[in-house]
Amino acid sequence: MLFYLAKRNLFRRLRFLLTAAVCVFAAAFAAVLAWSVLDAARAGLALSRERQGADIVVYPNETEVSDASMLYSGIAQSVYMDQEILRKLDTAGAAAVTGQFYLQTLPAADCCSVGKEYRLVGIDWDSDFVVRPWIKDRKLHSLKDGQVIVGSGIADEVGAGMVLLNHPVRVVSVLEPTGTALDQCIILNMEQLQKMAETGFPPDFFRGSRPAGLVTCALVRLRPGVSPKDYIASLRSVDAKVVSTASVRKTLEGEIGALSKILTGLLAVMLLLCCAALSSQFRMLTLSRCREVGYLRSIGMSRLRVYAMFLVEFGLVSFLGGAAGSAAGMAAAFPAADYLRRSLSIPLEPWSAASCVLRVLIGTALALAVCGAATVLPLRRIARISPHDAIAKGEM
């Protein structure tokens, strides 16, 4: 009965329904969008800190991207340095040193069967400590010629075949989601990728050097107790950019923290304004229905049932606006997160289906809570009016 009355009353007052629903929609949309993106950024940084492995990253001076982009973004840089640098980096302070060789697929050419541009990453399997921790198949003990590992963002299952730079290869494993450039990478044995580069690219692409003697970047894991600052200071003979991953992460954490404070403040103001606007809407609605409340009270409806009738009406508006806003906020979080990852080079932990559903449910619950807070004063006032005063002073 209460649900039937609430539905009839709402459809009789479509202007109120739309105004209140838009307020709730906007609040839920902003809350879920901001929460999802910031939470993914924090989780992505924590995950990369836990499993990135490298303390120091070294790459050529002519690289035209920021340090964070080199670490986390999917930008393929056609820059190289002599592989001899790995020997110079292997000092007493280094526990492990490994190199990586980058190329990219050419979807516009006939040499690659993949339809998008992906980074090709060549790793030295024996010395690698950066990529291997992310491999799902823990039983994989080598990466042979003709075998590749793909990132979680590439929809090729294990056993699938592809052609890269006119060489047929087979997917033998997939990386776990990282929220970094690795999600859109294809991993090969470095020697094989260097051979593919020599046959697939003109000699001037590598400035006259043979690809077999080049690397794009070098990664160093320091021994316990060795300071990144002291290690970098000891590399005076290394003509390349030397970056501490801890300093890059600290910078990104500062950017995320500042962004989080700004968005949290704006969101709090928005929720307060939404609550005030809804309270005003609910107040005008309840005052315009004083006579209706008086008739219902005069035929025996208790204050509690009057209160419940309005709560059902407001709850329906809150649920519809909150659910739609939360779902839209979650959908908008995907392109927003991708933009944030590309523009600020921030690693993001991907959302699971269960996480998306949970965020929509929490956003809907938040909308119901905001509306509940907005209805307290208007409903207390209408419930206290006597039937005689409500009929005498009210309007239908």
User: Which residue positions in the chain have pLDDT lower than 50?
Assistant: 74, 395-396
In the three-class reduction of DSSP (H, G, I as helix; E, B as strand; rest coil), residue 234 is classed as coil
Closest by CA position to 374, among listed 299, 318, 305, 309: 318
Domain ranges for the chain: 2-48+252-393, 61-239
CA 6 to chain CA centroid, Å, is 39
By the 8 A CB rule, do 118 and 186 touch? yes
By the 8 A CB rule, do 390 and 294 touch? yes
Model pLDDT, residue 396: 42
Model pLDDT, residue 189: 94
Model pLDDT, residue 238: 85
Q: In terms of pTM, does the model score above 0.85?
A: no
Write out pLDDT tens, residues 28-79: 898 899 888 888 777 777 766 655 678 898 888 877 766 666 666 545 567 8
And the tokens for 303?
A: 């204050």
Plot region of 29 (φ>0 → left; ψ -120 to 50 → alpha; else → beta): alpha
Compute the CA torsion angle 325, 329, 332, 333 (nearest 10 deg): -170
Closest by CA position to 268, among listed 338, 140, 370: 370
Look at the block and give the residue holding tokens 């050529």: 60
In the three-class reduction of DSSP (H, G, I as helix; E, B as strand; rest coil), residue 261 is classed as helix
In the three-class reduction of DSSP (H, G, I as helix; E, B as strand; rest coil), residue 117 is classed as coil
